[in-house]
Amino acid sequence: MIDTVGRSPSVTGRGELCDFSSVEEVARGTFLGGARLGGRARQGDRLVRTFIRAAVVAVAVPGLLSGLSATPAWADDVRTVATGFAGPLHVAVAPGGDVLVADAFLGAIDRVHPSTGAVTEVTSAQAFTPGVDVLGGQVFFTKSEDPHDGAPDGTTTLWRWTADGGAVQVADLLAWEYAHNPDGQPQRTGEDADSNPYGVLALPGRVLVADAAGNDIVEVRSNGAMRTLTRFPNSFVGDCATASNNGVPNAGCDPTPTDLKLGPDGFLYVSGLGGEAEGHIWKVNATTGAIVEHHGGFPPLTGIAVAKDGTVYVASLFTSQVFRLNHGSMSVADVPGPSGLDTDRNGTLYAGSVDFEGGPGSLLSIAPAAFHAP
What would the 3-class secondary structure string for the chain be?
CCEECCCCCCCCHHHCCCCHHHHHHHHHHHHCCCCCCCCCCCCCHHHHHCCCCHHHHHHHCCCCCCCCCCCCCCCCCEEEEEEEECCEEEEEECCCCCEEEEEHHHCEEEEEECCCCEEEEEECCCCECCCEEEECCEEEEEEEECCCCCCCCCEEEEEEEECCCEEEEEEEHHHHHHHHCCCCCCCCCCCCCCCCEEEEEEECCEEEEEECCCCEEEEEECCCCEEEEEECCCECCHHHHHCCECCECCCCECCCEEEEEECCCCEEEEEECHHHCCEEEEEEECCCCCEEEEEEEECCCCEEEECCCCCEEEEECCCCEEEEEECCEEEEEECCCEEEEEECCCCCEEEEECCCCCCCEEEEEECHHHCECC
pLDDT band at 306 (very low <50, low <70, confident <90, very high): very high
Poorest-confidence range of 5-9, 165-169, 217-221? 5-9
User: Which of residues 32 and 100 earns the better pLDDT score?
Assistant: 100
pLDDT band at 219 (very low <50, low <70, confident <90, very high): very high
Q: Is 152 a residue whose pLDDT tops 80?
A: no
pLDDT value, residue 252: 82
Q: Is 67 a residue whose pLDDT tops 50?
A: no
State pLDDT tens for residues 321-367. 999 999 889 999 999 999 999 999 999 999 999 987 878 999 999 99
pLDDT value, residue 155: 87
What is the rounded average pLDDT for all residues in the chain? 81
pLDDT value, residue 59: 32
Over residues 68-83, the mean pLDDT reads: 70
pLDDT value, residue 99: 98
Over residues 302-308, the mean pLDDT reads: 97
pLDDT value, residue 349: 98
Domain that holds residue 228: 3-370
User: Which of residues 179 and 15 earns the better pLDDT score?
Assistant: 179
What CATH number does residue 130 fall under?
Answer: 2.120.10.30
pLDDT value, residue 190: 66
Output the pTM of the full model.
0.84
Poorest-confidence range of 87-91, 239-243, 253-257, 290-294? 239-243
Give the total number of structural domains in the chain: 1
Q: Is 61 a residue whose pLDDT tops 70?
A: no
